Amino acid sequence: MKNGESIHDWAVKRFFGITGNFDEYKRQVVGRISTNAFLACFFFMILATAIAGVWGIRSPYEALVGFMLATILFSLGIVAPYVMIASHRAHLTDQEVGQTSIGQARRKVGWQALGQGVYFGVITYFLFGGIDMLADGSNFFDVLSLPWNIWNAVFRGILFGVWMGLIGLFRLKKQF
């Protein structure tokens, strides 16, 4: 948080991927996007809770699992893509770069993508190792030393890093 920026502004900028100053136009657009996302979530939660309540009379466990899966799918499959697409269309995520510094900005995006890929690979390596340990009841260090888990973590890190690099490159806009 730089320049006396509040925690709220910092969190909103990080969540929406806003670059540059958080001016009044960007606040209005964020408010509109947030309101639309909230209304969708509000109606979904009412409907999903009603369905889970009726379903829970017969089989409470299946209703709970269904409610949890529906919430996750709705959040990650509808609300998150809507926020990303609306932010992109409103040009909140554009990073304007001068003509002379475009190469430097691309290198910076590459280093950031490399760091994000390494971070994601390491975190998912330990996370998936812990999940495997809990699911199978095996030793944590034995699970971590399996070549398949190491290869999967490297693959996930590379895939995530490349994806984040492409997103970062698409956000760069030349300023004339």
pLDDT of residue 93: 78
pLDDT of residue 175: 60
Please state the φ and ψ torsions of residue 45, each to the nearest 5 degrees: -65, -35
Decide: 56 and 63 in contact? Cβ < 8 Å. Answer: yes
pLDDT of residue 172: 77
Start-end of H helices in 59-171: 60-74, 80-89, 102-136, 140-144, 147-171
Q: How far is CA 68 from CA 52, 63, 74, 84, 166, in A?
A: 10, 9, 10, 23, 32
Tokens of 31: 């408010």
pLDDT, mean of each 10-residue run, the chain (176 residues): 78 83 90 95 96 94 94 94 89 75 84 93 91 83 86 94 88 68
Please state the φ and ψ torsions of residue 67, each to the nearest 5 degrees: -65, -45
Q: Where are the domains of the chain?
A: 1-93, 95-176
pLDDT of residue 126: 92
* Nearest-angstrom CA–CA distance, 109 and 171: 10
pLDDT of residue 53: 94
pLDDT of residue 135: 84
